[in-house]
Every structure is written in C-alpha cells, then in structure tokens.
Amino acid sequence: MATVYLAHDPSSKRDVAVKVLPRESLGKEANSLERFEKELETIASLEHPAIVPVYDMGEENGQPYFVMRYMAGGSLSIMIQEGKLSLQDTARIIEHIAVVRMVKRNIIHRDIKPDNILFDLNANPYISDFGVAKLTEVSVDANTENRVVGTPGYMSPEQAYDQRVDARSDVYALGLVIYQMLTGRSI
C-alpha cells in the first residue's frame, strides 16, 4: 500500500524511515488514504516500547507521509533466511512482542509476519505495519474493506474465509512465525 524510504533527519541527526502513500494509490483505491490515516491513528494510540515509534506526520503536495524510527537491525524474515533461531532467541523475541498483545487489547493487527517484526541495532524486536489493523471491542469482520486484507500465508482460516476475527487470528499468525523461527523454513 505504501512505500518506505530511508532518510536522514538533519535536525535530530538520525536516520529515519519515511512511509509515503504513493500518488497513484490516492486515485486508484478509494480507501487507501483512509487506511493510511487509520494506521497512523492506530500507532499513535498504541505507544509501547515494542511498537516502532512514529516521530512526525504530514502531507507534501497532497501526498501524506509519516516519519518513524529507522530499524537498522533489519527484519525477522532476514534472520529466518539466514537459518533457524535458537529456542532462547525465539523465546526472547516472542516474549518481547507478545507483551504488546496485552497492551493492545482492542487491536487486531491482522498482518503478523516476519516482515513486520523489525529490530534495532541492539537486536530489540518491534512490531510494525498497522495498515490493516482494526480497533475492536471483541471481533470484526475480516473483510470490512470488501476484500481480504493481510498476507495469505499468515491468515487464520477465519480471516482467509472472510469470517469474524478476533485476537486469536494474531495468535495463529504468531504461531506460524514461531514455527518459521525454530525451523528456518518459509511458509
């Protein structure tokens, strides 16, 4: 849905990631801007040490963007490609990001996958990409945008079949991620 660029913020003297909604998405998909704004709103409401922080947001010539921490340690998918992780490393990573589940009680991420688990230079894991997350009290229709959202290989059966989903869909996806971490195999 969006493009992420590496940039340098001269005022803070740090590298940052800038997520930009492409102009072509603004005209093509009626809900692209709404989803982009919803992601920013969701992240802002979930301030937590295991969620990639957002520093700034704005619009330039009608093109919305937000600035977030650059995660220089790469993604979990890169680590998995290099081979299986130890049980201790897997437990440390999952324990750190699973705490977010408790904090974000009313959020269903709907796209938990290795590409959305990022690391800083100290190997601390963070959850990213809340573009298809839903704020809910109990459960939501998986297909509220009139199309299935998320990454097919990580979707719970309920999400894939456009049925009501709740936090268990994220737990299902997290189970697949743990499998990949421990086996070094892709889904």
Handedness of CA 124, 130, 131, 132 (dihedral sign): positive
| Domains defined for the chain, CATH in brackets | 3-69 (3.30.200.20), 74-183 (1.10.510.10)
What's the mean per-residue pLDDT of the chain?
A: 83
Of residues 44 and 74, more confidently modeled: 74
Tell me the whole-structure pTM to 2 decimals.
0.84
Q: What does DSSP say about strands 107-108 and 117-119: parallel, antiparallel, or unpaired? A: unpaired
Would you say residue 101 has pLDDT above 70? no
Which pLDDT belongs to residue 14?
A: 95
Would you say residue 41 has pLDDT above 90? no
Which pLDDT belongs to residue 88?
A: 97
- Number of residues in the chain: 187
Which pLDDT belongs to residue 153?
A: 92
Percent above pLDDT 70 for the chain: 82
Of residues 149 and 7, more confidently modeled: 7
State pLDDT tens for residues 126-182: 999 877 776 664 445 544 554 567 899 999 999 999 888 888 888 999 999 999 999
Would you say residue 8 has pLDDT above 70? yes
Residues serving a catalytic function are 111
Q: Which pLDDT band holds residue 28 (cuts at 50, 70, 90)?
A: low
How many angstroms separate the CA atoms of 101 and 106, rounded? 9
State pLDDT tens for residues 72-98: 999 999 999 999 999 999 999 999 988
